[in-house]
A and B are shown apart, each in its own frame.
Chain A
């Protein structure tokens, strides 16, 4: 397999409401959030309230292997209230794979996740976030990213098995010369999806880029509100593209730019449509059936990720 990324260990694993495994190293402290809240008083500035579940990861020194977290629902009607905190200390490059999923399709669970991610001065965080759910699950995800001076964030969120209702929101705060690059991909089939993402350019020469890819099929409704607010002389760009695969689905994309600094540049582009007939015919002329051609176009549209494995098992794909 090409470009496979492998974890040496899963650093935090939670099934339903119990912590299964914690693996830390000299470079990265890993604790259940509740423990961090009790033992490290400073973390309370980030946890808005006392957490019951979730992980705390504190990368204190340069770490060469990707960190991995897995949070799963395995039993019916489980309700999770996850609060995570990730702190990357100064001048460190870190990579985190974060996977949230239901082990079966019919568990009707609730997953509410709130994460706070702090990337300190001159650090780089590459975070890959995968969600895979069953039809009857309800999922809400809220993220806040705090990027200090010259910090860099590359964040991917991919949900290719969307539950009946999915709500996501993110707020990203950028200090001077920091940059955030978001790639969000959602494939909704019979789902209602609400997404709110905001990037705040608070420091000079900060930059924010958000690329949103949405596919609505089988009577889905997607609403995506993306916003960039320039409080300082930075640069921002929103790129929202949606594909409708059936007659009964809809996508609403609302890109919003708010510029409060005349030296800032904010731009956006948005389009929603169907799969191009020209592309379909081209692939069919190569011998692919219409369904195979659609699948290939959809895969390309949502972006292919290099598989992420642990002990030979691909963690970044749906478990179902």
Chain B
């Protein structure tokens, strides 16, 4: 589905990511862990093709197509989607209007535990943290994607809300064969979505890649991220 090979990314003349390798197959969940400012969101935005994120080496292919130089909207049309950690407010545009413009499939708002009035509110204007996340997920489901990046979906959510959102992700996305890259630094979401591979990113590099997310998370909680540099379970990505 998604293959990132030896990817290096520069933002504002500063090299942020170096030599990133990730491969995600259909219906797989992968998790990217790392401390603040390690480069996780940079990777999310580079995968999505944001113009300020310059690829200086390596490349990205999606559905066997090289998309390294493809525009954001083309990537979206190919089936790639990003759930933003901090989605911007779009004043004057109701969520229903945006859905009308972007939807590839109908989403029944009643299936989500949110006041349906959210559709008639301006996008993210005065939304609570939970409403923002639900608005993001409703939009993403309407796009009928094949690969979704969740950038810190769990940030600011209590455990009940997180459980509900992950249940939606399982039922509406994973069960339809959608692949997922979870960016997080909390363990709960891993427990709910059980990633096949967990990566640890430090200073713009993936320092650990393991099929045992429980062990990775145990190490992080016990010793902190620095320990990942020397972890014996470390397995570098190969495909």
Known: A276-B88, A279-B88. A286 touches B102 (CB 8 A): yes
The residues of A that contact B48 with a CB separation of less than 8 Å are 285
Known: A282-B90, A296-B93, A299-B92. A289 touches B73 (CB 8 A): yes
Residue A278 interfacial (CB < 8 Å): yes
Please indicate which of the listed interface residues B97, B102, B139, B143 has the most CB atoms of chain A within 10 Å of its own CB.
Answer: B102
The residues of B that contact A285 with a CB separation of less than 8 Å are 48, 72-73, 75-76, 81-82, 84
The residues of A that contact B50 with a CB separation of less than 8 Å are 281
Report yes or no: A288 in contact with B71, Cβ–Cβ below 8 A: no
Say which residue of B72, B91, B92, B122 sits within 8 Å of A284 (CB atoms): B72
Report yes or no: B77 in contact with A282, Cβ–Cβ below 8 A: no
Interface residue ranges of A283-301 to B (CB < 8 Å): 283-290, 292, 296-297, 299-301
The residues of A that contact B122 with a CB separation of less than 8 Å are 300
Please indicate which of the listed interface residues A278, A282, A289, A292 has the most CB atoms of chain B within 10 Å of its own CB.
Answer: A282
Report yes or no: B98 in contact with A286, Cβ–Cβ below 8 A: yes
The residues of A that contact B98 with a CB separation of less than 8 Å are 283, 286, 296
Q: How far is the CA of A276 from the CA of B102 in the complex (A)?
A: 20
Report yes or no: B73 in contact with A288, Cβ–Cβ below 8 A: yes
Residue B116 interfacial (CB < 8 Å): no
Per-residue interface assignment for chain B, residues 75 to 114, with 1 indicating a CB less than 8 Å from any chain A CB and 0 otherwise: 1110001101001101111000110011000000000000
Smallest CB gap from A301: residue in B: B92
Please indicate which of the listed interface residues A277, A284, A292, A299 has the most CB atoms of chain B within 10 Å of its own CB.
Answer: A284
Known: A287-B143, A300-B122. A282 touches B92 (CB 8 A): no
Q: How many A-B residue pairs have CB under 8 A?
A: 65
Report yes or no: B90 in contact with A300, Cβ–Cβ below 8 A: yes
Report yes or no: B88 in contact with A278, Cβ–Cβ below 8 A: yes
Report yes or no: A283 in contact with B90, Cβ–Cβ below 8 A: yes
Q: How far is the CA of A290 from the CA of B49 in the complex (A)?
A: 13
Q: How far is the CA of A279 from the CA of B84 in the complex (A)?
A: 12
Report yes or no: B102 in contact with A288, Cβ–Cβ below 8 A: yes
Residue A215 interfacial (CB < 8 Å): no
Interface residue ranges of A256-288 to B (CB < 8 Å): 276-279, 281-288
Please indicate which of the listed interface residues B51, B90, B91 has the most CB atoms of chain A within 10 Å of its own CB.
Answer: B90
The residues of A that contact B76 with a CB separation of less than 8 Å are 284-287
Q: How far is the CA of A279 from the CA of B90 in the complex (A)?
A: 7
Q: How far is the CA of A300 from the CA of B97 in the complex (A)?
A: 10
Known: A288-B102, A296-B98. A282 touches B143 (CB 8 A): no
Interface residue ranges of B93-146 to A (CB < 8 Å): 93, 97-98, 101-102, 122, 139, 143
Please indicate which of the listed interface residues B52, B92, B139 has the most CB atoms of chain A within 10 Å of its own CB.
Answer: B92
Q: How far is the CA of A285 from the CA of B145 in the complex (A)?
A: 12
Report yes or no: B88 in contact with A300, Cβ–Cβ below 8 A: no
A293: min CB distance to chain B, Å: 8
Say which residue of B77, B90, B93 sits within 8 Å of A287 (CB atoms): B77
Report yes or no: A286 in contact with B139, Cβ–Cβ below 8 A: yes
The residues of A that contact B90 with a CB separation of less than 8 Å are 279, 282-283, 296-297, 300
Report yes or no: B139 in contact with A300, Cβ–Cβ below 8 A: no
B174: min CB distance to chain A, Å: 21
Residue A302 interfacial (CB < 8 Å): yes
Residue A304 interfacial (CB < 8 Å): yes
B92: min CB distance to chain A, Å: 3
B71: min CB distance to chain A, Å: 7
Say which residue of A276, A277, A282, A284 sits within 8 Å of B71 (CB atoms): A284
The residues of A that contact B102 with a CB separation of less than 8 Å are 286-288
The residues of B that contact A289 with a CB separation of less than 8 Å are 73
Q: How far is the CA of A287 from the CA of B72 in the complex (A)?
A: 8
Report yes or no: B72 in contact with A300, Cβ–Cβ below 8 A: no
Report yes or no: B88 in contact with A282, Cβ–Cβ below 8 A: yes
The residues of B that contact A277 with a CB separation of less than 8 Å are 51-52
Q: How far is the CA of A287 from the CA of B100 in the complex (A)?
A: 12
The residues of B that contact A299 with a CB separation of less than 8 Å are 92-93
Per-residue interface assignment for chain A, residues 230 to 271, with 1 indicating a CB less than 8 Å from any chain B CB and 0 otherwise: 000000000000000000000000000000000000000000
B47: min CB distance to chain A, Å: 11
A292: min CB distance to chain B, Å: 7
The residues of B that contact A282 with a CB separation of less than 8 Å are 84, 87-88, 90
Per-residue interface assignment for chain A, residues 121 to 145, with 1 indicating a CB less than 8 Å from any chain B CB and 0 otherwise: 0000000000000000000000000
The residues of B that contact A286 with a CB separation of less than 8 Å are 76, 81, 98, 101-102, 139, 143
Smallest CB gap from A286: residue in B: B102
- 7 A-B pairs with CB atoms under 8 Å apart are A284-B73, A289-B73, A296-B98, A296-B101, A300-B122, A301-B91, A304-B92
New A-B pairs, 19, CB < 8 Å, besides A286-B98, A288-B73: A277-B51, A277-B52, A279-B88, A281-B51, A284-B73, A285-B48, A285-B73, A285-B76, A286-B101, A286-B102, A286-B143, A287-B77, A287-B143, A296-B90, A296-B98, A297-B93, A300-B92, A300-B93, A304-B92
A interface residues with partner B (beta carbon < 8 Å): 276-279, 281-290, 292, 296-297, 299-304
